[in-house]
């Protein structure tokens, strides 16, 4: 899912044809834009359809409900975050400090590069259905598990000194997640600079010893 872009307009009122994938993507993008700007409860399926330039019947053809749109967005961005964290951890090698710095940077980068998705994902958890909330929370637990495992490696190797591992994980993940709420592309710091600073902060938090 790409970052929020201007919605596509003027789709004909015909039944969905071979452009189903493109039409589905337009509806999903329109939902993301609307949820980001107006919130889940402030957005209707008609608003989403209008922003996508399609008929409301087409929007329901692609997604049976507004709740299904929210679930699709939140599951998608969290699965992509998991993949980015796993890749960063592997590429960083075996050193726990390098691994922690790498996954923090990957987390921050995703929350700046895909800010709208990350922001919606972080603020609309309460708006999911009970079943969908269980699925998304399970994915988030897997994100936390990557940080826990990495910090545990550092503790075993005695390069980290941290008496409260679980609280450190919560603090680091919360800190990184919050970037989607305040980051501005026209602000004083580029995404890489934010990522580097957060990596340094995270290493300090776990008592990194060189």
Distance CA 53, CA 90 (A): 42
pLDDT tens, position by position, 140-159: 999 999 999 999 999 999 99
pTM for this predicted structure = 0.87
**Cβ pair 106, 85 in contact under 8 A:** yes
> Who wins on pLDDT, 7 or 74?
74
Domains and CATH numbers, the chain: 1-64 (1.10.10.60), 68-205 (1.10.357.10)
- Candidates 159, 84, 74; CA nearest to 123 is 74
Tokens of 5: 């872009």
Average pLDDT, integer, range 120-147: 97
For residues 48 and 63, the answer to whether their CB atoms sit within 8 Å is: no
Nearest C-alpha neighbor of 64 from the set 27, 18, 118, 102: 27
Task: Give the model's confidence band at 90: pLDDT under 50 very low, under 70 low, under 90 confident, else very high.
Answer: very high
Q: Is the pLDDT confidence value at 18 over 90?
A: no
Please give the pLDDT value at position 209: 81
Write the pLDDT tens digit of every residue in 24-62: 999 999 999 999 999 999 999 999 999 999 999 999 999
The CA-atom distances, in angstroms, between 136 and each of 60, 128, 194 are 22, 9, 26
Q: State the DSSP string of 192-204.
A: HHHHHHHHHHHHH
């Amino acid at each position: 899912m790409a970052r929020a872009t201007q919605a596509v307009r003027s789709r004909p009122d015909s039944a969905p044809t071979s452009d189903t994938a493109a039409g589905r993507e337009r509806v999903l993008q329109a939902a993301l834009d609307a949820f980001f700007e107006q919130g889940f409860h402030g957005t209707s399926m008609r608003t989403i359809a209008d922003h996508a330039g399609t008929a409301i019947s087409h929007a329901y053809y692609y997604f049976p409900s507004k709740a299904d749109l929210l679930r699709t967005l939140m599951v998608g961005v969290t699965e992509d975050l998991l993949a980015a964290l796993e890749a960063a951890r592997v590429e960083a090698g075996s050193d726990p400090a390098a691994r922690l710095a790498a996954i923090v940077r990957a987390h921050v980068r995703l929350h700046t590069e895909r800010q709208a998705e990350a922001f919606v994902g972080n603020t609309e958890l309460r708006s999911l259905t009970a079943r969908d909330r269980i699925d998304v929370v399970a994915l988030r637990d897997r994100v936390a598990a990557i940080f826990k495992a990495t910090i545990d490696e550092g503790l075993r190797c005695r390069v980290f000194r941290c008496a409260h591992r679980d609280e450190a994980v919560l603090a680091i993940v919360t800190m990184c997640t919050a970037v989607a709420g305040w980051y501005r592309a026209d602000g004083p710091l580029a995404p890489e600079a934010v990522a580097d600073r957060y990596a340094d902060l995270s290493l300090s938090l776990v008592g990194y010893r060189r």
